[in-house]
Amino acid sequence: MASSSYSNSPCAACKFLRRKCLPDCIFAPYFPPEEPQKFANVHKIFGASNVSKLLNEVLPHQREDAVNSLAYEAEARMKDPVYGCVGAISVLQRQVIRLQKELDATNADLIRYACNEMPPTSFGRSTRMGHGGLSSSSSSASYDQNSALYYPSTWNNDTCGHNQGRGDHGSI
Protein backbone atom coordinates (compact mmCIF):
# COMPACT_ATOMS: atom_id res chain seq x y z
CA MET A 1 0.00 0.00 0.00
CA ALA A 2 1.82 3.02 -1.21
CA SER A 3 0.63 6.40 -0.11
CA SER A 4 0.73 9.37 -2.40
CA SER A 5 1.35 11.87 0.41
CA TYR A 6 4.93 12.91 -0.36
CA SER A 7 4.97 12.02 -4.02
CA ASN A 8 3.70 14.22 -6.83
CA SER A 9 0.11 14.90 -5.76
CA PRO A 10 -2.46 13.95 -3.15
CA CYS A 11 -4.85 11.06 -3.79
CA ALA A 12 -8.10 11.80 -5.62
CA ALA A 13 -10.07 11.70 -2.36
CA CYS A 14 -7.90 14.21 -0.52
CA LYS A 15 -7.78 16.46 -3.56
CA PHE A 16 -11.56 16.33 -3.88
CA LEU A 17 -12.03 16.97 -0.15
CA ARG A 18 -9.33 19.68 -0.25
CA ARG A 19 -7.29 18.30 2.57
CA LYS A 20 -3.69 17.20 3.05
CA CYS A 21 -2.99 13.61 2.05
CA LEU A 22 -1.22 12.05 5.04
CA PRO A 23 1.05 8.99 4.87
CA ASP A 24 -1.61 6.81 6.48
CA CYS A 25 -4.46 8.06 4.26
CA ILE A 26 -7.05 5.29 3.98
CA PHE A 27 -8.12 6.48 0.51
CA ALA A 28 -4.71 6.84 -1.17
CA PRO A 29 -4.16 3.20 -2.22
CA TYR A 30 -7.60 2.95 -3.81
CA PHE A 31 -8.26 6.40 -5.28
CA PRO A 32 -5.15 7.42 -7.25
CA PRO A 33 -4.82 11.04 -8.35
CA GLU A 34 -5.29 10.10 -12.01
CA GLU A 35 -8.84 8.79 -11.32
CA PRO A 36 -10.66 11.76 -9.77
CA GLN A 37 -14.08 10.80 -11.15
CA LYS A 38 -13.97 7.45 -9.35
CA PHE A 39 -13.89 9.14 -5.94
CA ALA A 40 -16.30 11.89 -6.99
CA ASN A 41 -18.95 9.30 -7.87
CA VAL A 42 -18.36 7.27 -4.70
CA HIS A 43 -18.47 10.43 -2.58
CA LYS A 44 -21.70 11.64 -4.17
CA ILE A 45 -23.51 8.33 -3.63
CA PHE A 46 -22.05 7.07 -0.34
CA GLY A 47 -20.24 10.01 1.27
CA ALA A 48 -16.58 10.20 2.26
CA SER A 49 -17.29 9.51 5.94
CA ASN A 50 -19.21 6.30 5.18
CA VAL A 51 -16.54 5.09 2.78
CA SER A 52 -13.83 5.82 5.36
CA LYS A 53 -15.74 3.89 8.04
CA LEU A 54 -16.30 0.98 5.69
CA LEU A 55 -12.63 0.79 4.68
CA ASN A 56 -11.55 0.86 8.32
CA GLU A 57 -13.93 -2.00 9.17
CA VAL A 58 -12.97 -4.20 6.22
CA LEU A 59 -9.88 -6.40 6.37
CA PRO A 60 -6.95 -4.87 4.46
CA HIS A 61 -6.88 -7.62 1.83
CA GLN A 62 -10.59 -7.02 1.07
CA ARG A 63 -10.43 -3.23 0.74
CA GLU A 64 -9.60 -3.10 -2.95
CA ASP A 65 -12.58 -5.32 -3.77
CA ALA A 66 -14.80 -3.19 -1.53
CA VAL A 67 -13.69 0.02 -3.27
CA ASN A 68 -14.18 -1.53 -6.71
CA SER A 69 -17.67 -2.61 -5.69
CA LEU A 70 -18.51 0.84 -4.34
CA ALA A 71 -17.15 2.49 -7.48
CA TYR A 72 -19.19 0.17 -9.73
CA GLU A 73 -22.38 0.75 -7.76
CA ALA A 74 -21.78 4.51 -7.63
CA GLU A 75 -21.26 4.70 -11.40
CA ALA A 76 -24.38 2.60 -11.98
CA ARG A 77 -26.37 4.87 -9.63
CA MET A 78 -25.14 7.92 -11.52
CA LYS A 79 -26.43 6.42 -14.78
CA ASP A 80 -29.66 5.02 -13.30
CA PRO A 81 -30.55 6.68 -9.97
CA VAL A 82 -33.53 4.41 -9.31
CA TYR A 83 -32.22 0.91 -10.01
CA GLY A 84 -28.44 1.31 -10.17
CA CYS A 85 -26.62 -1.91 -10.94
CA VAL A 86 -29.74 -3.94 -10.15
CA GLY A 87 -31.29 -2.58 -13.34
CA ALA A 88 -28.30 -3.77 -15.37
CA ILE A 89 -28.40 -7.17 -13.68
CA SER A 90 -32.12 -7.47 -14.42
CA VAL A 91 -31.59 -6.69 -18.12
CA LEU A 92 -28.82 -9.30 -18.31
CA GLN A 93 -30.96 -11.92 -16.53
CA ARG A 94 -33.80 -11.38 -19.00
CA GLN A 95 -31.33 -11.70 -21.86
CA VAL A 96 -29.96 -14.98 -20.45
CA ILE A 97 -33.50 -16.36 -20.06
CA ARG A 98 -34.41 -15.38 -23.63
CA LEU A 99 -31.23 -16.93 -25.00
CA GLN A 100 -31.72 -20.11 -22.95
CA LYS A 101 -35.25 -20.50 -24.34
CA GLU A 102 -33.89 -19.97 -27.85
CA LEU A 103 -31.19 -22.57 -27.20
CA ASP A 104 -33.76 -25.07 -25.88
CA ALA A 105 -35.94 -24.53 -28.95
CA THR A 106 -32.95 -25.02 -31.26
CA ASN A 107 -31.91 -28.18 -29.39
CA ALA A 108 -35.47 -29.50 -29.72
CA ASP A 109 -35.34 -28.79 -33.46
CA LEU A 110 -32.02 -30.65 -33.70
CA ILE A 111 -33.48 -33.65 -31.92
CA ARG A 112 -36.48 -33.69 -34.27
CA TYR A 113 -34.12 -33.44 -37.21
CA ALA A 114 -31.93 -36.25 -35.88
CA CYS A 115 -35.02 -38.43 -35.42
CA ASN A 116 -36.23 -37.67 -38.96
CA GLU A 117 -39.21 -35.73 -37.69
CA MET A 118 -38.38 -32.47 -39.43
CA PRO A 119 -40.81 -31.49 -42.16
CA PRO A 120 -39.37 -31.83 -45.63
CA THR A 121 -38.84 -28.39 -47.09
CA SER A 122 -40.07 -29.24 -50.60
CA PHE A 123 -42.97 -31.56 -49.70
CA GLY A 124 -44.97 -29.35 -47.35
CA ARG A 125 -45.37 -29.44 -43.64
CA SER A 126 -45.30 -32.47 -41.39
CA THR A 127 -48.45 -33.35 -39.48
CA ARG A 128 -46.50 -34.97 -36.63
CA MET A 129 -45.26 -31.65 -35.22
CA GLY A 130 -48.58 -30.03 -34.45
CA HIS A 131 -49.59 -26.81 -36.16
CA GLY A 132 -47.47 -27.97 -39.09
CA GLY A 133 -44.17 -26.22 -38.42
CA LEU A 134 -41.33 -25.44 -36.12
CA SER A 135 -42.34 -24.15 -32.76
CA SER A 136 -40.17 -22.46 -30.18
CA SER A 137 -42.67 -23.49 -27.51
CA SER A 138 -41.58 -27.13 -27.74
CA SER A 139 -39.08 -26.61 -24.96
CA SER A 140 -39.87 -28.15 -21.60
CA ALA A 141 -37.74 -25.68 -19.69
CA SER A 142 -39.24 -23.60 -16.92
CA TYR A 143 -38.66 -20.21 -15.40
CA ASP A 144 -39.41 -19.43 -11.77
CA GLN A 145 -40.39 -15.75 -11.74
CA ASN A 146 -40.25 -15.50 -7.93
CA SER A 147 -36.58 -16.40 -7.71
CA ALA A 148 -35.58 -15.36 -11.26
CA LEU A 149 -34.02 -18.78 -11.80
CA TYR A 150 -34.12 -20.71 -15.04
CA TYR A 151 -34.43 -24.47 -15.01
CA PRO A 152 -33.35 -26.07 -18.30
CA SER A 153 -35.15 -29.12 -19.60
CA THR A 154 -33.84 -32.52 -18.64
CA TRP A 155 -33.06 -34.98 -21.38
CA ASN A 156 -33.42 -38.73 -21.17
CA ASN A 157 -30.92 -41.13 -22.68
CA ASP A 158 -33.08 -41.86 -25.71
CA THR A 159 -33.82 -38.49 -27.25
CA CYS A 160 -35.72 -39.94 -30.22
CA GLY A 161 -38.27 -41.77 -28.05
CA HIS A 162 -37.36 -45.30 -29.12
CA ASN A 163 -38.06 -46.58 -25.58
CA GLN A 164 -41.61 -45.26 -25.58
CA GLY A 165 -44.16 -47.98 -25.50
CA ARG A 166 -41.91 -50.42 -23.66
CA GLY A 167 -43.09 -51.03 -20.14
CA ASP A 168 -39.63 -51.23 -18.65
CA HIS A 169 -38.34 -47.92 -20.07
CA GLY A 170 -34.96 -49.36 -20.88
CA SER A 171 -34.27 -51.23 -17.66
CA ILE A 172 -32.49 -54.57 -17.77
Euclidean distance between CA atoms 90 and 108, whole angstroms: 27
Query: pLDDT by residue (tens digit) across 128-150?
Result: 444 444 444 444 555 455 545 44
CA 37 to each of CA 33, 68, 72, 112, 141: distance values in angstroms, whole numbers, following the listed order: 10, 13, 12, 55, 44
Q: Is the whole-model pTM more than 0.85?
A: no
* Contact indicator for 10, 17 with CB cutoff of 8 Å: no
- Lowest average pLDDT, out of 7-11, 27-31, 123-127, goes to 123-127
Exposure of 100 by Cβ count < 10 A (0-12 exposed, 13-18 middle, 19+ buried)? middle
Euclidean distance between CA atoms 49 and 4, whole angstroms: 20
Q: How remote is the C-alpha of 143 from its chain's centroid?
A: 17
Q: What is the pLDDT of residues 56-100, one digit of tens each?
A: 999 999 999 999 999 999 999 999 999 998 998 999 999 999 999
Domain boundaries, the chain: 12-79, 82-117
Q: Which of 158, 155, 153, 154 is nearest to 170 (CA)?
A: 158
Percent of the chain whose predicted confidence (pLDDT) is above 70: 63
Q: Taking residues 111-115, what's their average pLDDT?
A: 89
- Report the C-alpha gap between 8 and 84 in whole angstroms: 35
